[in-house]
A and B are shown apart, each in its own frame.
Chain A
Amino acid sequence: MTAAIEVRAVEKRFGNVGIIRDLNLSVAQGERHAIIGPNGAGKSTTFNLISGHIKPTSGEVRLNGDVISGLRPFEINRRGLSRSFQVTNVFARMSVWENVRCAVLWATGHRYAFWKNVDSLSEVRERTAQILDDIHLTHRRDVPAGLLTYAEQRELEIGITIAGGATVVMLDEPTAGMSHAETERAVSLIRRLTEGKTLVIVEHDMSVVFGLADRISVLVYGHIIASGTPEEIRRDPKVKEAYLGEEAH
């Protein structure tokens, strides 16, 4: 079976500075894959490279076997890859309902239509209502997204990401800045909403990573030093040295 995401020898340089060097990563279909690493290791850059936000200097990225490196973000999204952002990135002046509905429109085939009444598209309406229900924001549907609480915005961010029905979902630090209770809620939300999908997640909270991921890759200075099951990663001496430190606890 072809891998959902296959990153081969990808390099990203900004001028003379190599941010990502010889990056190789393989995520199998249906796998929950976590990318961890110290600050500045290039985790968000890796996300940006895969999702088309920035183009690799060299190397290639494949989605379900097709080369996607060099394509633009919306072209990659249309092929079934969707991502969230570390810094909340919603449509601030639009209501929660509108936010999710916009994310549903392309996938339901309405594209740039200017001859259809958006309110009368029953499939769009049902799917939007379903997603609002899933992310527990139905009671906030008419509130402008910019007025939501931080945790609610993070949930909306996830909702927008999964709304298009992408089969590969990439979440960039979905629980960053959340309290313990909010994190638990978010994790169960993610677990439920990505059922049967491929998930790539960047996360700092190790309890989230080890609780959620089937496989983990450790990124240090733009290079993956280890990739394996949580158990393998925990035992890997290179990881201990480079990332987990001197067994502080």
Chain B
Amino acid sequence: MNAKMTSTPTSKIVDTTVGDGLRFYGIWLAGIAVLIVLPLIFSSGGSLTSFSLIGIAIVFALSYNILLGQTGLLSFGHAVHYGLGGFAACHMMNAVVSHGWPIPLPFIPLFGGLGGLAFALVIGWVMTKRAGTVFSMISLGIAELVASSSLILRSVFGGESGISTDRTSLPKILGLSFGPQLQVYYLIAFWLVISAIAMYALTRTPLGRISNAVRDNPERVQFIGYDPHVVRYIAFCFAGFFAGVAGGLAAINFEIANAAYLGAIQSGLVLFSTFIGGVAFFFGPILGAILVTYLQLGLTSVTGVWQLYFGIIFIGIVMLSPGGIAGLIMMHRPLVRAGTLPTVIPSYLLAAVPTLALACGVILTIESIARTHSGQGSPINLFGVAFSPASPVTWASAAILVAGGFFVARLSWRRVGEAWDRATTIARDRGYLA
């Protein structure tokens, strides 16, 4: 009896690991397959550029999550490592060309990473002495320091114009010149896969686990033998390295590194992407980077006040879903397992209508105000319907959509809540929810 009692949980653990293991590798292989196939389906120059930027943003956001999600460090200056990685890569590329070193382009992101790492090694020990507000404030200060130095130290950072380079002049490998964007895309995709696997693997090491413990409770960590300062420092160095890799990829992609790489906007953008995606899950920053880069590229062409929408989305996520998109998705896992997901879907569809109406109302309001004030008065195109920003009809429809949408959305989301309660109760009864 006793032997049976102890052997049962062990065998169950083995079973789930094998099942999870298959699914785990399946997800990674599917991701790699998507990266390979993507440019074959969307082969226009514009989409290739977008995919390249998204790939870089994913590496950068994942590196940021080593700090924020894994170790609980809120940095306002992560772009410093990204930027220094970019500059390191540019200088390296130029040095390779002028000295004739036999280093082909695919190895350059590694030097970007070393650039980011070097700065993290130097500055990190002081920065990670404390977590929380102290760390955040120091990161902000360091970011400003480096950003202002970048305009002063002209020989290193090239002043306003930055350091430019030519990726096609490096020694060829496998006959690839890396002139065409398609080749650059695959280079970025390659480094994305390598970096993502490495960063995921890092979460599965003793250091990765202890980083989580430091995030949750740095005081207690000291009483299980660990110095939280050392843990934070090593995590900080890894984050700096992979941010540098992302910066190196950007340098290859744009063939330039300038002060904008390491500025506050870039630091804000990575925080934004990571948080919107969700810091609690490894894949969260990936979703966030995809969405934010896509929005950034898409919104700028349709509206002049795209930052305003970024702000609204950010506030919305922080207030309504602190777990980000990944948190929203993973909330549904117990329901999927318990088989009660279909019971909440109808309420979602019902709530989507007024929510969409509310969103349209907000967009109409913002665009009317923005376009009237900027004096352009160009019509607002919303799902193929043109609205004149100066017309009272537009204002009236905006008001009706906002007020009516808000009122009905409140009622319908309440019904979503009720459906959720029922579904989670069943899931709990069936043992899929703690």
| Partner-contacting stretch, out of B31-39, B210-218, B246-254, B397-405 | B210-218
Task: Judge if B204 is at the interface, Cβ distance under 8 Å.
Answer: yes
Q: A94-B216, A112-B231 are in contact. Are A118 and B224 (CB under 8 A)?
A: no
Separation in Å of the B342 CB from the closest CB of chain A? 25
- Nearest to A117 among chain B residues (CB) is B204
A82 and B223 contacting across the interface, CB-CB below 8 Å: yes
A-B contact count (CB 8 A): 106
Query: Looking at the complex, which one of B201, B223, B238 makes contact with A74 (CB distance below 8 Å)?
Result: B223
A98 and B224 contacting across the interface, CB-CB below 8 Å: no
Task: Judge if A116 is at the interface, Cβ distance under 8 Å.
Answer: yes
Task: Judge if B104 is at the interface, Cβ distance under 8 Å.
Answer: no
- Nearest to A77 among chain B residues (CB) is B225
CA distance A138 to B225 in the complex (A): 24
Task: Judge if A163 is at the interface, Cβ distance under 8 Å.
Answer: yes
A102 and B205 contacting across the interface, CB-CB below 8 Å: no
CA distance A119 to B209 in the complex (A): 10
B224 and A72 contacting across the interface, CB-CB below 8 Å: no
- Please give the number of chain B residues whose Cβ is less than 8 angstroms from any Cβ of chain A in the complex: 33
Q: A90-B220, A129-B10 are in contact. Are A106 and B234 (CB under 8 A)?
A: no
B206 and A110 contacting across the interface, CB-CB below 8 Å: yes
Q: A73-B222, A114-B205, A160-B224 are in contact. Are A102 and B6 (CB under 8 A)?
A: no
Task: Judge if A107 is at the interface, Cβ distance under 8 Å.
Answer: yes
B217 and A90 contacting across the interface, CB-CB below 8 Å: yes
Which of A110, A118, A129, A144 lies at the interface centre, i.e. has the most chain B CB atoms within 10 A of its CB? A118
Query: Looking at the complex, which one of B17, B204, B210, B222 makes contact with A102 (CB distance below 8 Å)?
Result: B210
Which of A102, A103, A117, A164 lies at the interface centre, i.e. has the most chain B CB atoms within 10 A of its CB? A102
Separation in Å of the A115 CB from the closest CB of chain B? 7
Chain A residues positioned under 8 Å from B204 (CB to CB): 117-119
Residues of chain B in range 309-336 having any CB-CB distance to chain A below 8 Å: none
B238 and A114 contacting across the interface, CB-CB below 8 Å: yes
Q: A74-B226, A78-B225, A117-B201 are in contact. Are A89 and B209 (CB under 8 A)?
A: no
B216 and A72 contacting across the interface, CB-CB below 8 Å: no
Chain B residues positioned under 8 Å from A234 (CB to CB): none
CA distance A112 to B209 in the complex (A): 10
CA distance A237 to B205 in the complex (A): 57
CA distance A111 to B225 in the complex (A): 9
Chain A residues positioned under 8 Å from B210 (CB to CB): 102, 105, 112
Which of A73, A110, A116, A121 lies at the interface centre, i.e. has the most chain B CB atoms within 10 A of its CB? A73
Query: Looking at the complex, which one of A101, A103, A115, A139 makes contact with B205 (CB distance below 8 Å)?
Result: A115
Separation in Å of the A4 CB from the closest CB of chain B? 17
Separation in Å of the A125 CB from the closest CB of chain B? 9
Q: A93-B216, A112-B234 are in contact. Are A106 and B201 (CB under 8 A)?
A: no
Query: Looking at the complex, which one of B217, B230, B280 makes contact with A92 (CB distance below 8 Å)?
Result: B217
Chain B residues positioned under 8 Å from A144 (CB to CB): 434
Chain A residues positioned under 8 Å from B260 (CB to CB): none
CA distance A129 to B227 in the complex (A): 25
Q: Per-residue CB proximity of B224-259 to A under 8 Å, as 1/0?
A: 111100110010001000000000000000000000
Task: Judge if A66 is at the interface, Cβ distance under 8 Å.
Answer: no
Separation in Å of the A179 CB from the closest CB of chain B? 22
Separation in Å of the B356 CB from the closest CB of chain A? 34
Q: Per-residue CB proximity of B9-21 to A under 8 Å, as 1/0?
A: 1100000010000
Q: A77-B224, A138-B9 are in contact. Are A118 and B213 (CB under 8 A)?
A: no
Chain A residues positioned under 8 Å from B226 (CB to CB): 74, 106, 112
Chain B residues positioned under 8 Å from A102 (CB to CB): 209-210, 212-213, 221, 224
CA distance A143 to B9 in the complex (A): 15
CA distance A94 to B280 in the complex (A): 11
Instruction: State the A residues within 8 Å of B (CB).
Output: 51, 72-74, 77-78, 82-83, 85, 89-94, 98, 101-103, 105-107, 110-119, 121, 129, 133, 138-139, 141, 143-144, 147, 160-161, 163-164
Instruction: State the B residues within 8 Å of A (CB).
Output: 6, 9-10, 17, 201-202, 204-210, 212-213, 215-217, 219-227, 230-231, 234, 238, 280, 434
Q: List 23 A-B contacts (CB under 8 A).
A: A72-B222, A72-B227, A78-B225, A89-B217, A92-B217, A93-B280, A98-B213, A102-B224, A103-B224, A106-B224, A110-B206, A112-B207, A112-B210, A114-B205, A114-B234, A117-B201, A117-B205, A119-B17, A121-B206, A133-B6, A141-B9, A147-B434, A161-B223
